[in-house]
Amino acid sequence: MPEFMTLGEIASAARTNLDKNLWDYLTGGADTEASIRRNRIALDSVVFKPKVLNNVSEISLSREFLGNRLRIPVILPPIGSIQAFHAGGGSSVAKAAEDFGTMMILSSACQPSFEEVALVGGAPKIYQLYLVGDESWMDDVIARSIESGYDAFCLTVDTAVYSRRERDIHKRYIPGSGRQVGQSRGEPFNYQASMNWETVLHIKRTFDIPLVLKGIQRADDALRAIDAGVDVIYVSNHGGRQLDHSRGCLDVLREVTKVVQDRVPVVVDGGFLRGADVIKGLCYGATAIGMGRLLGLAMAAGGPSTVVRALEILEQEMQITMGLMGIADIDDLSPDLVEVTVPMPGSANVLDAFPLISEGY
C-alpha cells in the first residue's frame, strides 16, 4: 500500500518535516492574509450541478497545452526557494514533472540554475523571470532560456514592490529567494517596479518564444495583454502573498475567461488544492491549473516521488468528481455545471481543503 493515500496525509507530513520558518513561508501570506482566505472562499462558494444517466465508464483527463500533451491539466508552477523544501530544488520538480507527465514552470528565484534544470528529464518546461537587471540583462537571460530549450518564457507582473509577510517579520526570518537582510518590505523589487507594457512589447518584438504573463487580476489587463501579443494569460494573486485584500482567483478567472473567449490559453492558480478545485477552474474556462502550495507540501513531505503521488491522488479525485458529475471528457466541462452560492460558515484557512488535519489525522 502506498505511503500516502490522501492529500491531507501529505500536508500533515510536510508540517512535521518543516520547521516553523519554512512552514509559515509556505502557508502564509501578506499582512492580514485576507487574500489567502478569499482564494479558499471563492473555491468553496462554488457548487456543482451534476448531470445523470451519462456514460462515464471511461473518463478522459488529458489536455494539450502549448503543444504538449499533459496527463491532467495541472502544471507545477514557480516557487521561489523550492530547494528549501527539497535539496534538489528545481531539478526535483523537473523529475516529478517527467515521471508523472505534466509541465513545470521554473522560478528564477530558486536553485540550481535554469540551464542546469533544463537538462533534467524530458518534461516540457517554462522559465519564469524576476527582473533583477536592466533590459540588456533580461534579453541575455531570455536568449539563454531559448537556447536551453524552454518551451515558453514567463514574466511575473504582480511583484512591483515587496509585500509584508508578517509571519516572517515576527520571527525576523529572511527567506532565501533574493531578499537581503535588512531590506524592508515596500521597497522596489529590483527592476520589477519599472516594468511596463513596453517591456512586454519589447519581448514580443525581439524573441520568438511563447510569452506568459503571470499575475493578471483584471479583465481589461487580460485584453491588453492579448493586444500586446501575449500567448498565455496567467490569473494569479501570488497565492495571497503580494497584495492583501485581492479577489479570490476563481472569481477573477470567471471575469477573464468571459472576455478572452478562447483566443489564448488561460492558466489560474490561488488556493487550488483538491481535484474538485481543479474541476471548478476548468468549468470556468481555465486551460490548466497551477498548484503551487500542493507542490511545496509534497516536496517537503518526500521530494519528487511524493509530488508524483500527490498528482496521482489528484487525478483520482478529478476522475471521481467528473464521474459523479456525469461528464466523461474534460473538454465537456462548462460553466453550466457550476454555480456560485453562499459560502459555508466559519473562518477560511489555507488548509481548509484538508479538514481532517485539525482532528489529528
Which residues are marked as active site?
238
Q: How many CB atoms lie within 10 A of CB 215?
A: 19
CA Rg, the chain, in Å?
A: 19
Among 43, 78, 231, 277, CA closest to 159: 78
Eight-state DSSP code of residue 329: B
Contact (Cβ atoms closer than 8 angstroms) between residue 95 and residue 64: no
| Measured CA angle at 114 (ends 158, 19), to 5 deg | 70
CA dist 350 and 308 (Å) reads: 22
Which helix H or strand E contains 266, and what residues bound it?
strand 266-268
Structure-block grid coordinates of residue 218: 483584471
Among 295, 321, 319, CA closest to 308: 295
Q: Are strands 211-216 and 104-107 parallel, antiparallel or unpaired?
A: unpaired
CA dist 235 and 293 (Å) reads: 16
**Secondary structure (3-state) at 270:** coil
CA dist 53 and 56 (Å) reads: 9
Among 278, 290, 270, 284, CA closest to 348: 270
Alpha helices (H) along the chain: 7-17, 20-27, 34-44, 90-100, 114-118, 135-148, 166-171, 197-206, 219-227, 249-260, 275-283, 292-302, 304-325
